[in-house]
Amino acid sequence: MFFSINEYQREIIVVANDSNTKSQRIKPKEKFNFFHDERVRGIFYQLLTVVIIGCFFWYLISNTAHNLELRGMNSGFGFLNVAAGFDPGFKLISYTPGIGTYGRIFLIGILNTLYVSFLAIIACTVLGFFIGILRLSNNWLISKVALTFIEIFRNTPLLIQLIFWYVGVFSILPQIKNSLDLSAGAEVVLLNNRGLYTAWPVPGEQFWITGVAFMAALICVYLLKKWANKHQDKTGKRVAVLLPSLAILLILPGLVFLLTGSPLSWDIPKIEGFNFVGGASLPPAFIALLVALVVYGAAHMAEIVRAGIQSINKGQNDAALAIGLRQNKALRLIIIPQAMPAIIPPMISLWLSTVKNSSLAVAIGYSDIVSLFMQTSLNQAGYAIEIVAMTMGFYMFVSLIISGLLNIYNKKVQLVER
């Protein structure tokens, strides 16, 4: 574009010169210089890049092929159907060593990673929100305590925290015989160095009726909320919804539960030999990983919430107080809804990094996808390229989904903003 403007200007100068001094003529320079044209250069640079990158990859691939041949290593995804000889430890789906395949190990790893990340994401979001609001409390002491928490956990590496939780806290818990009882003497939630053991509900035959009743209660609450909003729009009066909703949610399923004869029993953990039998259990590595991810994530979440709330003009809070809202209502009805667009994008990135951080499980032996697949399976079966590609592919898939969520949200917010 600039090229053409210059040409144009030069012609004007030439014309001007023509009219003034006829004897002198300035020859316009050639209009198109092949090597100085932007497009030609662009294509040249791109071709050059493609050739260099292509050569580089060809070099890598030929080396790899040669090395694989040299070491007699196989390739291909056939190994996924081969039985794996090791026990993955913690698992959500059944698995028998020696019969289950590497494909199933991959699945177990994915489920374990998603399980711990899902719980950690929910807990760290809630806890982080709470701490972020405490950080902005007008109580000086509370605010400083929250600040200390945030700074300590943000400025030390997650891996050190994780190992500290694992070897410093959850591994030095008492032996099974002297388990800590978290349920105050009822012996249904027990913590010891083998993990956390809880009683687990076993639904009876007619339990599904209670489930249906619960769904019905949910629908009732939804309708009630809708009616209350309509009522407020019409008359300007707010109807209390929270307490009646809770009552419906508790009483309706509760009554049905009792009428159908309490079809629910508890499977309580009991010591048998050297270990607990029955109930549900979580290994110490899982609890340590969960706690570490939650605490680390909450510290980051708190910073996100603080930054989001502080990005809202102070006048909004003053105005909310001026029209008679209490501080907590001003926060809930005025500040936080406006801060949400500034909070949600970094929050979703935090969720993604929580999923990625869960891969540190490999350091403490929780069987997530990296430790099961990228470490144990890779050491036992070989197939380095396939295993690395599959593991990375899984993380890329998760990140694709989470950034998809982010894009949907961003579009929605933009529409509202106009």
Partner 1 sequence: MAFVKKEITHARPAPLSERSVIGWMHKHLFSSFYNSILTIVTLYIIYITTKGLWVWGIADAVWIAESRRECFDISIDGACWAGVIAWMDNIFYGRYPKDELWRVNVGILLLIVWMLPLWLPRVKGKIFIAITLISFYPFLANYIFLGGESSFFSQFMVSAAIVSFVVIMLNAIIGVIQGQSISTFIATRLGSSLKSEKSQRNLNLALLIITFIIAFLWQQSWVLGEVPWTKWGGLFLTLVISGIGIATALPGGIILALGRRSKLPVIKVLSTTFIEVFRSVPLITVLFMATTMFPLFLPEGFVLNKLAQVIIAVCLFNAAYMAETVRGGLQTIPKGQYEGAHTIGLGYWGTMGLIVMPQALKNMIPNIVGNFISILKGTTLVSIIGLFDILGMLSSVSRDLSWIGLHKEPLLFGAMIFFILCALMSKYSRHLEAKLSTNRKT
Q: Which of 370, 372, 381, 406 is in the footprint of partner 1 by CB under 8 A?
A: 370
**Least distance CB 8 / partner 1 (angstroms):** 16
**Least distance CB 47 / partner 1 (angstroms):** 8
**Least distance CB 234 / partner 1 (angstroms):** 35
Q: Which of 224, 228, 336, 384 is in the footprint of partner 1 by CB under 8 A?
A: 384
Bridge partners, 275 (sequence order): 272
Identify the helix (H) or strand (E) that includes residue 394.
helix 384-417
- Residue 340 CA to residue 417 CA, distance in Å, equals 13
Dihedral angle sign, alpha carbons of residues 83, 84, 86, 87 = negative
Q: Is 141 near partner 1 (CB under 8 A)?
A: yes
Residues numbered 162-191 forming contacts with partner 1, rule: CB under 8 A: 163-164, 167-168, 171
Q: Which CB sits closer to partner 1, 73 or 215? A: 73
Q: Is 348 near partner 1 (CB under 8 A)?
A: no
- Residue 11 CA to residue 2 CA, distance in Å, equals 14
Q: Which of 3, 45, 58, 266 is in the footprint of partner 1 by CB under 8 A?
A: 45
Bridge partners, 202 (sequence order): 265
Q: Is 5 near partner 1 (CB under 8 A)?
A: no
Q: Which of 9, 17, 33, 63 is in the footprint of partner 1 by CB under 8 A?
A: 63
* Triad 35, 36, 39: Cα angle to 5°: 90
Task: Determine the 3-state secondary structure of 90 from DSSP.
Answer: coil
- Residue 3 CA to residue 176 CA, distance in Å, equals 82
Interface with partner 1 by CB under 8 A: which range of 8-16, 176-184, 277-285, 350-358?
A: 350-358
Name the H helices within 311-335: 314-322, 327-329
Q: Is 359 near partner 1 (CB under 8 A)?
A: yes
Interface with partner 1 by CB under 8 A: which range of 9-17, 161-169, 214-222, 334-342?
A: 161-169
Q: Which CB sits closer to partner 1, 118 or 207? A: 118
Q: Which CB sits closer to partner 1, 286 or 386? A: 386
Q: Is 401 near partner 1 (CB under 8 A)?
A: no
- Residue 359 CA to residue 117 CA, distance in Å, equals 10
- Hey, how many other C-beta atoms are within 10 angstroms of the C-beta on 119? 15
Task: Determine the 3-state secondary structure of 37 from DSSP.
Answer: coil
Q: Which of 340, 396, 408, 413 is in the footprint of partner 1 by CB under 8 A?
A: 396
Q: Is 26 near partner 1 (CB under 8 A)?
A: no
Tokens encoding 197: 């053991």
